[in-house]
Chains A and B, each alone.
Chain A
Amino acid sequence: MTPRSDVLTESRTKRGDAGDGRALGARITRVDGLAKVRGAATYSLEHRPADLAHAVLVGSTIAAGRVRRVDQSEAEKAPGVRLILTPDTIPALKTASNWLGERPSEGPYHALTHEIGFQGQHVAAVVADTLEQAVEAARLVTIEYDVAPAVADLRDSRAGAGTEVEAMTIAWGDAEAALEAAPAKIRREYTTPREYNVPIEPHGLIAEWQDEDHLTIWEPSQWIAGMARTYAEWFEIPYENLRMISPYIGGGFGSKALAYSYGAIAAQAAKLLGRPVKLAVTRPQTFTAYGGRAETRQEIALGATLEGKLLAIHHRAANETSTTGTWVERCGGTIAIMYATPNFSSKHRVVPVNTVLPSAFRAPGENPSAWGIESAIDELAYEIGLDPLAIRLLNYAEHDHQANLPWSSRQLREAFAAGAERFGWSKRSPAPRSMRAGSQLIGWGVAAGTYPMRRTPGQAIVRLLADGAVEVLSAAIDMGQGTYTILAQTAAEALAVPVERVAVRLGDSSMPWAPVGGGSQLANLMVGAVHKAALAARDELIGLALNDPKSPLRHLQANTLPVGDGRIGDLEIGAFLAAIGRDHIEVLRDTFAENGKSADDPFKTYTTITGGRTTTDNGYSAHSWCAHFIEVRVDEDFGTVRVSRVVSAFDCGRIFNPKLAESQWKGGIIQGIGQALLEEGVVDRRHGRVINNNLGDYLIPTNADVPDIEVISVGVPDFHATMLGGKGVGEVPIVGVAPAIANAVFHATGKRIRDLPITLDKLIG
Chain B
Amino acid sequence: MPNAAISLRLQINGHLHDLTVEPRVTLLDALREQFGLTGTKKGCDQGQCGACTVHVDGQRVLACLTLAAQVEGRTVTTIEGLGEEALHPVQAAFLEHDAFQCGYCTPGQIMSAVACIREGHAGTDDEIREYMSGNLCRCGAYPNIVAAIRQAAEASR
A residues near B, CB below 8 A? 29-30, 32-43, 46, 48, 79, 130-132, 197-202, 248-253, 280, 282-283, 479-482, 659-660, 662-664, 666-671, 694-696, 700-704, 706-709
Contacts and interface: CB of A to CB of B under 8 A. Distances in A.
B72 interface: no
Contacts, number: 183
A37 B140 contact: no
A665 to B, nearest CB: 9
Contact of B41 (A197, A200, A660, A669): A200
Nearest to B91: A37
A646 to B, nearest CB: 9
A507 B40 CA distance: 22
Interface in B99-131: 100-107, 110, 125-126, 128-130
A524 B13 CA distance: 41
Interface string B73-89: 00000111001000100
24 contacts: A29-B95, A29-B98, A33-B103, A35-B103, A38-B83, A39-B79, A39-B107, A41-B103, A43-B38, A200-B137, A249-B102, A250-B104, A251-B138, A283-B43, A283-B49, A479-B101, A663-B144, A667-B140, A671-B138, A695-B44, A700-B138, A701-B142, A702-B134, A708-B143
Contacts of B128: 703
A178 B31 CA distance: 66
Most chain A CB inside 10 Å of its own CB: which residue of B36, B46, B87, B139: B139
A707 to B, nearest CB: 8
A157 to B, nearest CB: 34
Contacts of A253: 138
A202 B95 contact: no
Contacts of B42: 202, 280
A608 to B, nearest CB: 26
Q: What is the size category of the interface that chain B forms with chain A?
A: 35 or more
Contacts of A35: 103
B143 A706 contact: yes
Contacts of B132: 703-704
Nearest to A34: B95
B144 A39 contact: no
Chain B's interface: helix, strand, loop or mixed, by majority?
A: loop
A200 B101 contact: no
B32 interface: yes
B45 A282 contact: yes
Contact of B101 (A39, A43, A202, A664): A664
B79 A283 contact: no
Contacts of B27: none
B95 A200 contact: no
Contacts of A202: 42-44
A480 B36 contact: no
Given A200-B51, A667-B140, A30 B95 contact: yes
B100 A36 contact: yes
B106 A706 contact: no
A703 B103 contact: no
A251 B100 CA distance: 11
B16 interface: no
A667 B145 CA distance: 12
Contact of B103 (A79, A480, A696): A480
A202 B37 CA distance: 18
Given A667-B140, A702-B136, A132 B104 contact: no
Given A32-B103, A132-B24, A283-B45, A37 B110 contact: yes
Interface in B23-79: 24-25, 29, 32-33, 36-49, 51, 78-79
B35 to A, nearest CB: 10
A695 B136 contact: yes
Contact of A666 (B41, B102, B138, B140): B140
B15 to A, nearest CB: 16
